[in-house]
Amino acid sequence: MSGTAGQVIKCKAAVAWEAGKPLVIEEVEVAPPQAMEARLKILYTSLCHTDVYFWEAKGQTPVFPRIFGHEAGGIVESVGEGVTDLAPGDHVLPVFTGECKDCAHCKSEESNMCSLLRINTDRGVMINDGKSRFSINGKPIYHFIGTSTFSEYTVVHVGCVAKINPEAPLDKVCVLSCGISTGLGAALNVAKPPKGSTVAVFGLGAVGLAAAEGARIAGASRIIGIDVNPKRFNEAKKFGVTEFVNPKDYDKPVQEVLSEITNGGVDRSIECTGNVDAMISAFECVHDGWGVAVLVGVPHKDAAFKTHPINFLSERTLKGTFFGNYKPRSDLPSVVEKYMNKELVLEKFITHEVPFTEINKAFDYMLQGDSLRCIIRMDA
């Protein structure tokens, strides 16, 4: 164990005191890990749209003051009682969802939706004792989806920590702990496009581009990107997108356009926007007989998906996915190896980099639509 094991650590964290207001770099106290927890030294973190969504707190229960952040790479500083899979010095990716390895979901080869550790956006405390490990002057600062990586040190349940190859550069592979793996896995694990097939990707943000990258790796010959922002089209070519459709350019539903240009429909579609109309289009644009549509984006809580049942009876398949169907502890290490083997290129997802003291710039870049992923260097 390190010299700080069992002690409270004082460090810098970016605290969100209230919704939509700039984060403030504060000195926080980080308590030692309890049973089945690990305390991590975060070296690099990146900003995901989910952080921005809950920071804005427009559509859900506001939980403040809070430390956001959930895409990161770091090193284990110390572990709590009962932890056998991790040791100080291990290189790890903290993940917003977990794998307890004991529940029915974890024991199933078909599911990654751990009963104990699946995402809970309202909970701001650790599940072990219902308390926060962060405080300022004795007052709790709340956690975010079990990770809170906008802090030099954080405490995470061991089931939400993936141990990875120590040779992997944490400033690159940190982006695999959420969005990129979600899109990549939606293609490789769920859509599973056959070699030479046609794939439509709805939404060309980071997750959609990762889905396109997955389709490219799988050997799809046509990858059609659908987005209402034409600025995204050029960038998307780097991710294997071969052609583009902007729904605004047509006076008919985009599913009809896609059906016409693909002789009856695409073989696979992957929806990465969360817009329910795009979800319906993604399903209705796949070919009858064998087409598969995969929903990735998270819809508005009141959204309703409407389509005619004949679309199912004509042998189209609709699937959903969570975190690309990857089990965090079991599967993420192999995704890191895809990067190490140069099968997967992560550098093209990283558009910006800022020191921790300038973390609010990362929010500006994302809100302006300028960035895919902005790496935040904790030591700078």
Instruction: Give me the active site residues, please.
Output: 48-50, 70-71, 100, 103, 106, 114, 118, 178, 373
**Lookup result for tokens 């859900």:** 60
3-state secondary structure at position 326 = coil
Distance between CA 246 and CA 18 in Å, rounded?
A: 37
Does the CA dihedral 83-86-92-97 come out positive or negative?
A: negative
Residues 6 or more apart whose CB falls under 8 angstroms from that of 356 comprise 12, 14, 25, 152, 376, 377, 378, 379, 380
CB neighbourhood size of 118 (10 A): 18
Residue in 155, 188, 158 with CA at minimum distance from that of residue 334: 188
Q: Which amino acid is at 325?
A: N
Cβ contact 49:71 at 8 Å: no
Terminus-to-terminus CA distance in the chain, angstroms? 26
Distance between CA 121 and CA 136 in Å, rounded?
A: 22
Q: Which amino acid is at 246?
A: N
Distance between CA 213 and CA 82 in Å, rounded?
A: 39
Residues 6 or more apart whose CB falls under 8 angstroms from that of 65 comprise 15, 16, 17, 18, 141, 142
Distance between CA 47 and CA 221 in Å, rounded?
A: 32
Cis peptide before 65 (omega within 30 of 0): yes
Residues 6 or more apart whose CB falls under 8 angstroms from that of 220 comprise 193, 195, 196, 197, 198, 199, 240, 268
Distance between CA 285 and CA 247 in Å, rounded?
A: 13
